[in-house]
Chains A and B, each alone.
Chain A
Amino acid sequence: MSEKVLLVDDEQDFVDAMATRMKDRGMEVTTTTSAADALKKVEEGTYDAVVLDLMMPEMDGLEVLKAMKVKRPELQIILLTGYATVQKGVEAIKFGAMDFIEKPADLKVLTEKIHQATTQKMVLVEKKIQDKVKKLIQEKGW
């Protein structure tokens, strides 16, 4: 099964080239250059991983990350940045990012992270289902 990835970056040429390369590697990629549109897409669809640029116009990447986590707590978000500082990295992880990659990204590394994200998401979703089932059993007294 191919991974469903949402790629968010305000640089159209970057998004186009990276999406093509990811698709060539068997991933199902949706792209957007707008933070607001990315939030809408996360609300409407399901993704195994989101690759998100930290510096987006109008809305800071960390703000987008927080908003996405509120909408979909199980979402695995990999942040991309032009300048990785330890402070930003710590902040990103604190706000729920799965990982933090500096531009220019090595596609092999990014692909590995996306595979990890998919596994992690599956674990979280399975746990969510287990919790629901447990709750249901307790409520019904089965």
Chain B
Amino acid sequence: MSWNWEVIGETGLQFFGKVSASISHEIKNVIAIINENAGLLEDLIARSEKGIPLDPERLRTQANRIIKQVRRGDDIVKGMNRFAHSVDEPLRQTDVNDSLALTCALSNRFASMRGVALELDPSPTQVPIITNPFFLQNLIWLCLDFAMGSTGTGKAVSLKAGKTEGGAEIRFSKLEDLAAADIESFPGERETALLQALRADLVINKEMGELRLTFPVQAEG
């Protein structure tokens, strides 16, 4: 089968760029908070040098705030590292549940900007398929972007990955406004190209307010 490489390449690059920009923004926020708390510690030291006694509780609060941000920064960088390594191999065993969780984590800031809550319902077991992990994340990202625009007043997207007889599925539900959504333009060229590359299917269920992606056990190499 011939894939639309031009569209897949451009879509992938846009995805990579958007995620990288978002991560850099998150890291900047973490640095800004550490900077303010370190500054506050400096202020406390300066006051103590003037004879005002140091309050251990206040110092502890500052230290805890810095530790919290270091952990947050570490989580962000770990996610970024996993995302960057998803382009290492064109085909490998991938846990769909794990890819969904990572893409959700990478999308959280965008969801927050749109006032949408992402409700991930993790599968208790792994959902393994052999696929291209980067294309998979890109397709989840695009579907999530569409889903976030179809939440209606509920302002939430529920996400769940699971095993099927033929492979795996991901459900995007609670899409109250799906019936009114412009499904003439979705899936568009980008989603179609990725669906083909992953040998995946997309079913839009307007009545249930749900998108369902299905994947075979093994995509083509």
- Check if A83 sits within 8 Å of B39, measured CB to CB: no
Known contacts A11-B33, A83-B28; A17/B112 CB under 8 A: no
- Check if B36 sits within 8 Å of A82, measured CB to CB: no
Interface string of B9-44 (1 = CB under 8 A from A): 000000000000100111011011111110110010
Name B residues whose Cβ lies closer than 8 Å to a Cβ of A: 21, 24-26, 28-29, 31-37, 39-40, 43, 62, 65, 68-69, 112-115
Residues facing B in A93-135 (CB within 8 A) are 103-105, 107
Chain A residues, CB < 8 A from B114? 58
Q: Most chain-A Cβ atoms within 10 A of its Cβ — which of B26, B35, B69?
A: B35
- Check if A103 sits within 8 Å of B24, measured CB to CB: no
Known contacts A13-B68, A17-B65, A82-B28; A107/B33 CB under 8 A: no
Chain A residues, CB < 8 A from B28? 82-83, 103-104
Distance in Å from the Cβ of B134 to the closest Cβ of chain A?
24
Taking the complex as formed, is A20 at the interface, i.e. its CB lies under 8 A from any CB of chain B?
yes
Taking the complex as formed, is A64 at the interface, i.e. its CB lies under 8 A from any CB of chain B?
no
Chain B residues, CB < 8 A from A13? 33, 37, 65, 68-69
- Check if B40 sits within 8 Å of A21, measured CB to CB: yes
Chain B residues, CB < 8 A from A21? 36, 39-40, 43
Give the complex CA separation of A107 and B113 in angstroms: 27
Q: Smallest CB-CB separation from A83: which chain B residue?
A: B25
Taking the complex as formed, is A18 at the interface, i.e. its CB lies under 8 A from any CB of chain B?
yes
Residues facing B in A68-112 (CB within 8 A) are 82-83, 103-105, 107
Q: Smallest CB-CB separation from A24: which chain B residue?
A: B43
Chain B residues, CB < 8 A from A11? 29, 32-33
- Check if B32 sits within 8 Å of A82, measured CB to CB: yes
Taking the complex as formed, is A57 at the interface, i.e. its CB lies under 8 A from any CB of chain B?
yes
